[in-house]
Structure 1
Amino acid sequence: MYPDAVTLEPAVSARSVVRGVDIASPGCSVKDSFADLDLVGDGFEVLFEAQWIHRPAGAPMPEPDAEAAGLEWSEVADAEELAAWEAAFEGGDGSGGDRTFRPALLRDGIVFLAGRADGRIVAGAVASTGGGVVGVSNLFGPAWPGVLGAVCARWPGLDVVGYEHGEDLETAVRAGFTAIGPLRVWLRPNGTGTVLAQ
């Protein structure tokens, strides 16, 4: 779910990125925030490409479709609710063993939003603040209208950012976001520990 490294500026050398991560373990990943790295020679594959998105504070709220209009939105308050949120996020009943989203994440600056229909979580997102913006991630279900309403109510005056691709990008654009630049996520699936390109 989370990369081993994230580039914070463009034109970083592939060598410096690879030196800073554990390539011996399977699943090593890098978020290439500017889509300008070439890690193929180091055994990585492109997991996906996406676009950074931005929505200015005060932009008009999108009209929810019929499915989204009936949802009740609230913040996840405790570990039990977080487990239910994660089960809905994963599309299951929560009976899987390991948790990705630990209760320690329920702290200032990070908010799990849950959209409920008939008391059951059917949509959600994670919102976090930093750098004068609200970052939105991990959306699922018919989420954008409700998420934006909750985010704008909790943090009025802050721009909203994130990244999306495919149909999710189209949905975000319809919700008032603008695509502002590419990013790429790389995965090194084999974990051989051998760097192929120096």
Structure 2
Amino acid sequence: MDGAGTTSAVADVTGQATWVRAAARNNAEWCAAVCRAHGVNGEFGDDAWTSSRRTPPLYPDAVTLTDRLAPPTSTEPESGRSGTVRPGSLSPLTGLLSRIDTVSPGCSVKDSFACLDLTPAGFEVLFEAQWIHRPAPAPTARAPASAHTPTYQITWDALTAPDDLPAWTSAWGAGPGDCGPFRPELLADDATTFLRARSADGRVVAGAVATVSASVVGLSNVFTAPEADTYGYAPRNTWAACLATVAARWPRLPVVGYESGADLEAAVANGCRTVGPLRVWWRRA
């Protein structure tokens, strides 16, 4: 690789790391909002967001915000590494685990940089995914047409009242009368917007949560309901329309999030790129 190619590659890696950090912070802010709605107050530190109380189901007790929690490898210089342990002090990782409840069952850690080994602490990998990023569209850009055209007219808007939430959570996959982790208090959170796609007969067929922070919009809980197939609506349609809705509401902000499987494929097909892996660790007891 020539000098120009090397410089370009380094710049790309640096750029990806920047988006991973932005996405991790945005996701931590969303997790914090969910916890506040349940009366659980976490804390932001330089290294992670943590909660000393057990968080709601499906939500982590910690979200790491730096890759410096991992111990330095033998090939890395110790100077300047925050993972380096001073004599008589806790390692950064041990310090992180001391701020969450690792005693009661169900503790989880979102390893935003997929760089930790929590096996010695009794954790196992629950799942892995990829952080994604899509630049803010140019002012004159038009949303790309989906290769899969819906059979029926589907419209996107935002939830505005608590009465809207049950239909959204039901389509998301919550049981009857159960809103899952999504409390009505979240609708009053200025940084949180619940987006929904409805058919002409009013059924919620897809949706997502948008979390707005200083420099990005984070998309999470992007779903396409099983009933969407009746209307010719597939995950690629969901992502195309969701991204267009976000671009219209927050035209100057890039999009971040994380996905795996079919939704990752749909996101990439609609202009997102993967920027780095993440891993969620879970402790049974």
Structure 2 counterpart of 1:87, which letter?
A: S
Aligned CA distance change for structure 1 residues 69 and 21 (closer, same or farther; 3 Å): farther
Question: Within 5 A, what are the aligned runs for 1:162-181?
Answer: 162-181=257-276
Higher radius of gyration, 1 or 2: 2
- Name the SS of the counterpart of 1:123 in structure 2: strand
Q: 2:59 corresponds to which residue? A: 2
Q: How does 1:119-198 map to 2 (within 5 A)?
A: 119-141=202-224, 142=235, 143-190=238-285
Contact 2:174 2:180 in 1 (8 A): no
Change (3 A) 1:69 1:187: farther
CA contact (8 A) 1:73 1:116 kept: yes
Give the C-alpha shift of residue 63 in structure 1. 2.0
More relative contact order, 1 or 2 (CA 8 Å, 6+ apart): 1
- Per-residue CA deviation, residues 164-191 of structure 1 (Å, 9 max, x unaligned), is 112221111101001001111111122x
> For residues 136-180 of structure 1, what are the alpha-carbon distances to aligned partners after superposition, in whole Å with 9 as ceiling and x for unaligned?
000100321121111111101110000111222111110100100
**TM-score, scaled to structure 2:** 0.62
Structure 1 pair 28–62 and aligned structure 2 pair: CA distance change class (3 A): farther
Give the letter for the 1:72 counterpart.
T
In structure 1, list runs of 5 or more residues that go unmatched: 191-198
Matched, 1:11 2:106: no
Q: Which runs of 5+ in 2 are unaligned?
A: 1-57, 70-91, 225-234
Q: 2:120 aligns with which of 41, 45, 52?
A: 41
Q: Percent identity?
A: 52
Partner of 2:30: none
Partner SS state of residue 210, structure 2 = strand
* Count of matched residue pairs: 188
Conserved 8 A contact 2:166-2:177: no
Judge conservation of contact 1:62–1:175 (CA < 8 Å) in 2: yes
Q: Distance in 2 between matches of 1:62 and 1:184?
A: 31
Q: Is the 8 A contact 1:53 1:180 kept in 2?
A: yes
TM-score of the two chains, using structure 1 as the length reference: 0.88
Tell me how far 1:131 sits from its aligned partner: 3.0
Of 107, 110, 126, the residue aligned with 2:192 is 110
**Bigger fraction of residues in strand:** 1
1:38-71 per-position Cα deviation (integer Å, ceiling 9, x unaligned): 0011111111111110000116523232238732
Tell me the secondary structure at the aligned position of residue 150 of structure 2: helix
- RMSD, aligned α-carbons: 1.8
Q: Which amino acid in 2 is paired with 1:138?
A: N
Q: Distance in 2 between matches of 1:11 and 1:91?
A: 37
Cα contact 1:5–1:29 (8 A) shared by 2: yes
Q: Compute the displacement of 1:78 (Å).
A: 1.0
Q: Is the CA contact (8 Å cut-off) linking 2:129 and 2:259 kept in structure 1?
A: yes
Letter in 1 for 2:213: G
Partner-residue secondary structure (3-state), 2:168: helix
Does 1:95 pair with 2:177?
yes
**Which amino acid in structure 2 is aligned with residue 100 of structure 1?**
P
Q: If each structure's helix is expressed as a fraction of its own residues, which one has the higher value?
A: 2
Match of 1:195 in 2: none
2:265 alignment partner, SS class: helix
Letter in 1 for 2:181: T
